[in-house]
Amino acid sequence: MSNYPEDMVAPMRQELVQVGFRQLMSAAQVDEALQRPGTTLLLVNSVCGCAAAGARPGVTDALRNYGLKFDQLVTVFAGMEKEATAQAREYFEGALPTSPQAAILRDGQLVHLMQRQDFLGRSPEEIAATLGAAYRQLVAAS
């Protein structure tokens, strides 16, 4: 059971789908995606203001303007697909559950995690720069 009407969250989902994110709707889909080899960007989407003002546009900006090349882009929606969201957070190694969250994983292991406080009061450009720096650090460590 979801917390929000689907017609309300559909545009929020679409913002990510339009830039190449695949929606994970079940815990099994999360495990299948996150256990694949390679690099993954996972966004825990949300209806909150910091997701709308920062997380979604910041991630989109990072992908478009920073040359980030992930093997896969995936998303879960907090408050909607609760089992999928809870399963995704199992990969976040003891971090408190917040919404939104942006995680970079390599071969199923967490490399970088942005929590709600990393989005609050920050512009999409600042968020994109943070993700870009984390991505460059990942590539440099390869």
Query: DSSP string of 10-40?
Result: HHHHHHHHTTT-EE--SHHHHHHHHTSSSEE
Which pLDDT tens digit goes with each residue over 87-108? 999 999 889 999 999 999 999 9
Question: In terms of Cα–Cα distance, which of 115, 108, 141, 110 is closest to 130?
Answer: 115
Question: In terms of Cα–Cα distance, which of 106, 103, 101, 138 is closest to 120?
Answer: 101
* Low-confidence residues of the chain: pLDDT under 70: 1-2
Q: Which of 9, 27, 43, 48 is catalytic?
A: 48
pLDDT at 2: 61
**Architecture of 6-136 per CATH?**
3-Layer(aba) Sandwich (3.40)
50 belongs to the catalytic site: yes
Q: Which of 24, 27, 50, 80 is catalytic?
A: 50
Q: Where are the domains of the chain?
A: 6-136
pLDDT at 116: 96
pLDDT at 141: 87
pLDDT at 6: 93
